[in-house]
Amino acid sequence: MPNVLILGGRAPVAADHARRFAHQGWTVYIADSIPCRISGWSYAVRATIRLAPPRFDPAAFIAGLSRAIKTYSIDLIIPTCEEVFFLSRYRSALPTSCRVAADDFDKLRMLHSKWDFQNLARECGGNAPVSAVVRTLAEAREWANGAPIVLKPEFSRFGVHVQLYPSGIPANAPELAEQGRWVAQRYCQGRELCSYSIADKGRLLAHAVYLPKYRLQLSASYYFDHYVSPAIYEFAEAFVDRLQFTGQISFDWIDAGDGQPAVIECNPRAISGLHLFSMQDAVPSALTGEATACTVPSKIRAGMIAPIMLTSGLAHALGSGGLSEWLHDYRRADDVITADRDYGTVIGAAADIGSYLRMALRQRCTMREAATRDIEWDGELLSQV
């Protein structure tokens, strides 16, 4: 029986990977540098491994991974969050007997850069919006010349620090924060979409697209509605072939309804599109590179994070007069946290939230920062370990 080690156990997608691998005959281990009971308490997981924080102690992080590979005879490592950058940077220090489902560091850096990615996406027919690099609000204002614009740090995540100006930059707009280079992008009006893919040496082996119908403000979605877009499929296929890419890769899109969706940015990691696949779908085979064709989700029901849908989602529906639509959407979706009757994950998620709250109070930061700052990478130089 093969053994898989799934990193970033704090993420719901880690629990999703764990269940599917276990269902298809793998022994599953979870690892992370902060509490990750949302996946660690899943019925699918044999053991949880605590690692050093890769951002703050990469040498200890990679040494811990090496020990885990040897101790548990790991055949495959799957990153799910931004620890992928550190894993890729230092993979040469790991035992060569273990497959790492991630590409070379230089490729990942290019994809993580919102500026470098835009240039590459245009070459692959991604209809990326016109963009420019700026460092100050004055530079952005001069470039935009009154047109609608989006401003975002070159390296960022979850929509943090993004400034949307659909009517142009107002006179009282705040100055850009000290986040290094910023990318100014023409504002695109339309439907937001997200795609998730798995590739091996340039072959597209799994692919899903979803509509993030319910979101926490401008940040993460908690409702994942199936969406079919031949144009997005064709771009993903051409893009991974052009880069000869291996691993998980995700794109954000704006679809104006003209048949040519605009690709906005790339995340070379897992996102919630994974939740659209069933337990039987050949995602594990895609991640090992053994699949012979591209897998698409075989189930048709939407996915949702039910606890958020029942709290923030319901509150928003009541306040906006959309209760009937909310109820319809709730009934046609499955909870991705307790999928396959995995009830330990929802208890683990509640325990993790308590841990993140204590971390946030101790570190004097937000809960989101407490839950991600140890794996974030913003383009800085990563030295040898």
DSSP sequence for 277-292: S-TTSSHHHHHHT--S
**What pLDDT is stored for residue 159 in this prediction?**
66
Residue range 52-108, pLDDT digits in tens: 999 999 999 999 999 999 999 999 999 999 999 999 999 999 999 999 999 999 999
Residue whose token pair is 């660690």: 40
What topology is assigned to 191-340 in CATH? D-amino Acid Aminotransferase; Chain A, domain 1 (3.30.470)
Distance CA 225, CA 334 (A): 11
Answer for the pair 276, 224: CB distance below 8 angstroms, yes or no.
yes
**What pLDDT is stored for residue 24 in this prediction?**
98
CATH 3.90.1150.10, applies to 1-102+343-385: no
Distance CA 193, CA 253 (A): 5
Q: For the chain, what are the domain ranges? A: 1-102+343-385, 130-186, 191-340
Tokens, residue 125:
């027919």
**What pLDDT is stored for residue 336 in this prediction?**
97
- Within 79-181, strands assigned E span 99-100, 131-134, 149-153, 163-165
Distance CA 151, CA 176 (A): 9
Of residues 44 and 369, which shows the higher confidence score? 44
Span 290-294, average pLDDT: 97
What count of other Cβ atoms lies within 10 Å of the Cβ of residue 267?
Answer: 21
Phi then psi for residue 297, to 5 deg, are -55, 135
**What pLDDT is stored for residue 127 in this prediction?**
87
Helix (H) or strand (E) holding 5: strand 3-7
List, in order, residues 6 or more apart from 311 with CB less than 8 Å away: none
**What pLDDT is stored for residue 137 in this prediction?**
92
| Confidence grade of residue 299 (pLDDT, cut at 50, 70, 90) | confident
Share of the chain above pLDDT 90, in %: 84
**What pLDDT is stored for residue 158 in this prediction?**
67
**What pLDDT is stored for residue 369 in this prediction?**
87
**What pLDDT is stored for residue 368 in this prediction?**
86
pTM above 0.85, yes or no: yes
**Buried-exposed string 295-309: b where 16+ CB fall within 10 A, e elsewhere:** bebeeeebbbbbbbb
- Would 1-102+343-385 and 191-340 be classified into the same CATH topology? no
Span 232-238, average pLDDT: 96
Distances (CA, A) of 125 to 38, 210, 241, 289: 38, 20, 13, 26
Q: What is the mean pLDDT of the chain?
A: 94
Residue range 130-162, pLDDT digits in tens: 999 999 999 999 999 999 999 999 988 766 678
Query: What one-character-per-residue DSSP string does 7-49 give?
Result: E-TTSHHHHHHHHHHHHTT-EEEEEESS--HHHHTSTTEEEEE
**What pLDDT is stored for residue 161 in this prediction?**
78
Helix (H) or strand (E) holding 240: helix 230-243
**What pLDDT is stored for residue 109 in this prediction?**
96
**What pLDDT is stored for residue 374 in this prediction?**
94
Residue range 28-58, pLDDT digits in tens: 999 999 999 999 999 999 999 999 999 999 9
